[in-house]
Amino acid sequence: MLKKSILQSAGTVFLAGSLALVTLTSCKKNSTATSPPPSNTIANIVSTNTSFSILKAAVVKADLATTLSGTGPFTVFAPNDAAFTASGITLASINTLSADELKKILLYHTLSAKVISTAVPAGPNAPVTTVNGDPIYVTRNNSGVFVNGIKVQTADVAADNGIIHVLDRVLLPAKGNLVEVAQGDTTFSFLVAAVLRASSGNTDVVAALSGTGPFTVFAPTNNAFRAAGFSTINDVSNADPNTLASILTYHVVAGRVFSSDLSDVAQPATLNGANVTIGLTSGATVRGNSNASPSNITAANILATNGVVHVIDPVLLP
């Protein structure tokens, strides 16, 4: 009887242990199956951070919220509201763009890998291909990380599916080569006329600025040409082409030089052969040898496929 009782007790203990094991295994499976998905995604951060309200609106209209909630990993260079405002883009501007246009711009801010700030290539201006297929140009130095000359304001905001670097301006893909960029902006109509007129002389400026480059162009506005004595486009079109070519090539520097690459009192050589002088003590400026005062760089880092454009007010004189 004692032996039978012991065997029965042992069987009870074994059965209880087996049930406990089955129950524990079942709980583990159920726990795994019912675990909520990660919530700290890039899309979630953008959606819940009030400083990204314009970016959120753009992401929603471009139908990218699901993508940026996916597994990734992604790196997003994210402009905050102040960056959109500084770039002249408002919620109203977002509403004028199509979903496809916004998608192209937003994917230009996105990499299909997680890249922390210390892993950004030193460059300067190392090309990195974005999700939309166009390159951005990155630099990492003692002053921080720069993308197309634009500074990363806050780096390494961690997300479950990648990382965010907050920018202080919006990145815009190139709309063509240097000539095409000028042709697409009505504030450069005098400059375009000057380039065309100059190309009828000994120097084909159109061919040069449409070539591989890269080049940096300090681009005078229409008002800058008027201040230089060209009252109308007809005045430009009737000017001596070789004189215009000499002046225009004095506005061109070899290389892709973003605002972040400019150094105070630097004197880069131009395609004209003469030098200009860069100033950074009171805003960014560039001065020609025959200019009484420097030209202000009023807008910077306009990307072209073969270089970059900086807008200036007076025309540079060799």
What distance in Å separates the CA atoms of residue 272 and residue 275, rounded to the nearest whole number? 8
> Tens digits of per-residue pLDDT, 3-20?
334 334 334 333 333 333
Of 143, 167, 191, which residue sits at a domain end?
167
Q: How far is CA 10 from the centre of its chain?
A: 72
Of 126, 143, 167, which residue sits at a domain end?
167
Give the model's pLDDT for residue 38. 56
**Structure token pair of residue 28:** 């583990």
- Asked if residue 193 and residue 296 are part of one domain, the reply reads yes
**Structure token pair of residue 290:** 């025959």
Give the model's pLDDT for residue 39. 77
> Tens digits of per-residue pLDDT, 51-61?
999 999 999 99
DSSP state of 275: B
- Read off the pTM: 0.85
- Asked if residue 148 and residue 198 are part of one domain, the reply reads no
- Asked if residue 217 and residue 121 are part of one domain, the reply reads no
- Listing DSSP states for 121-151 in one string gives ---SSEEEE-TTS-EEEEEEETTEEEETTEE
Domain-embedded: residue 288:
yes
What distance in Å separates the CA atoms of residue 311 and residue 223, rounded to the nearest whole number? 12
What CA–CA distances, in Å, run from 57 to 38, 92, 112, 169? Answer: 22, 10, 22, 17
Give the model's pLDDT for residue 25. 39
Domain-embedded: residue 107:
yes
- Asked if residue 234 and residue 111 are part of one domain, the reply reads no
Domain-embedded: residue 34:
no
Average model confidence (pLDDT) across the chain: 90
- Asked if residue 52 and residue 149 are part of one domain, the reply reads yes
Domain-embedded: residue 37:
no
Of 147, 167, 187, which residue sits at a domain end?
167
Q: Domain of 122: which CATH number? A: 2.30.180.10
Contact between 315 and 235 under an 8 Å Cβ cutoff? The reply is no
Domain-embedded: residue 18:
no
> Tens digits of per-residue pLDDT, 225-276?
999 999 999 999 999 999 999 999 999 999 999 999 999 999 999 999 999 9
Domain-embedded: residue 5:
no
Lowest mean pLDDT among 7-21, 92-106, 171-185, 202-216: 7-21
Per the structure, the complete domain to which residue 107 belongs is given by 42-167
Domain-embedded: residue 182:
yes
- Asked if residue 265 and residue 182 are part of one domain, the reply reads yes
Contact between 148 and 171 under an 8 Å Cβ cutoff? The reply is yes
Contacts of 259 (CB under 8 A, 6+ apart): 149, 284, 297, 300, 301, 310
- Asked if residue 196 and residue 111 are part of one domain, the reply reads no
